[in-house]
Each structure stands twice: as structure tokens, then as C-alpha cells.
Structure 1
């Protein structure tokens, strides 16, 4: 079980299993907030402190919200606004231990232009 948190600890996340691959994206939002991101089925990540201690940002096509801590400002995850069965959510791996981060293969994704992986 992998547990992580925002900087101040108000938002705590528990992953349902060990990720093996993460994504580093260069879209207009991800290049500003960083990553890498790991993905799980929506609702399978245990998130404590959300929504009471979080705020959200919704952009563009309004299909997802990016969540951050109200206190320290760390982005913790994103989630679909209208989740359908099988929907995914992204978790910011930077909120977890350096050991976990180092153990995960990070793939580079061109979310700014081609919507393809750059390291295939």
C-alpha cells in the first residue's frame, strides 16, 4: 500500500496498487504543475481531506477537474466531472515517496500537440 500527501498533510492519498508506469505530459496545464501522473479507475484511490480541504480548477472542454490543497497549494490529483463506468483519474506521483517515484517508468506524452507518446 502506498500512501502520500500534499505538503501540509491535509490531503492524504492511498493508491490501490503499485504503479509501474507514469506519464509526464507537456500540455499547457501539466507543463506548469508538473508530474508525473499515474492513473487508476475512478473511485479506487482513497483520498482523505477531499473535498473539505481542496479547491478545483476546470479548464477547456470541462471534462475534468484538477484538485489541489487549499492550504499548501499542492496539486494532488485530477478527476472526471461526470464519471462514467470505467472512468480513470490521475494522481500526481510527486506526492509520494522518492523511492516510489524512482521505481516507476516515466513515459513522455505530447499532450500539447500530437497526443502521442514521444518515447515509443
Structure 2
């Protein structure tokens, strides 16, 4: 199990498994808040401190909410606005041990223009 937290520790996340691949996106939001992101089925990541210690931001097509700690401001994850079967959950890997981050292959995704991975 991999556990991570925002800077102040008010929001803590536990991944259900070790990610093998992460995504670095250049969309208008991700290029500002960074990454990389790893994805899991919605509801499989254990999150402590949410929603009591978090605030959300919903943009664009209004399908997902980006969650940040209301105390230190670190973005911890995103989740679907409407949780439907098979929905994904994005977790900001920057909140985890640097050794975990270094062990994961990062794919670059062009979310700003082509909506495709830049390498295959």
C-alpha cells in the first residue's frame, strides 16, 4: 500500500495498488497544478479528510471536480461530478514518496490540443 498526503497532512490518500504508469498532461488546468496523475476506479482510493478538509473546483464540461486541501492548498485528486459505474478517479502523484514517483513510467498527454498521447 502506498500512502500520501497534502503538505499539511489534513488530506491523506491510500492507493489500492502500485501504479505502473502515470500521465503528465498539458491541458490548461494540469499545466498549472502539475502532476503526474495516476488513475484508479472511483471509490478504490481511500481518502481521509475529504470532504471536511477539502474544496473543489469544477471547470469546462463539468464532468470532474479537482480537489484541494482547504488548509495548505495542495491539489490531491480529481473525481467525477457524477459517480457512474466504471468512472475513473485521478490521484496527484506529487503527494506521495519521491521513490514511488521515480518508479512510475510517465506518459505525456496532449490535453491542450490533440487529446492524444505524445509517444506510444
Question: What is the TM-score of this pair, normalised by structure 2?
Answer: 0.99
| Structure 1 match to 2:35 | 35
Q: Which runs of 5+ in 2 are unaligned?
A: none
Post-superposition offset of 1:119: 1.4
Instruction: Provide the C-alpha distance between the structure 2 equivalents of 1:14 and 1:62, rounded to a whole number of angstroms.
Output: 26
Shift of 1:83: 1.3
Equivalent residue for 2:83? 83
Q: Deviations over 1:45-90 (max 9, x none)?
A: 0000000000000001111000000000000000000011010010
- Find out whether 1:44 has 2:44 as its counterpart: yes
Runs (4+) of structure 1 exceeding 4 A deviation are none
- Structure 1 distance, partners of 2:3, 2:72, is 18
TM-score normalized with structure 1 length: 0.99
Gaps of 5+ in 1: none
> What is the CA RMSD across the aligned residues, in angstroms?
0.3
| Alignment size in residue pairs | 120
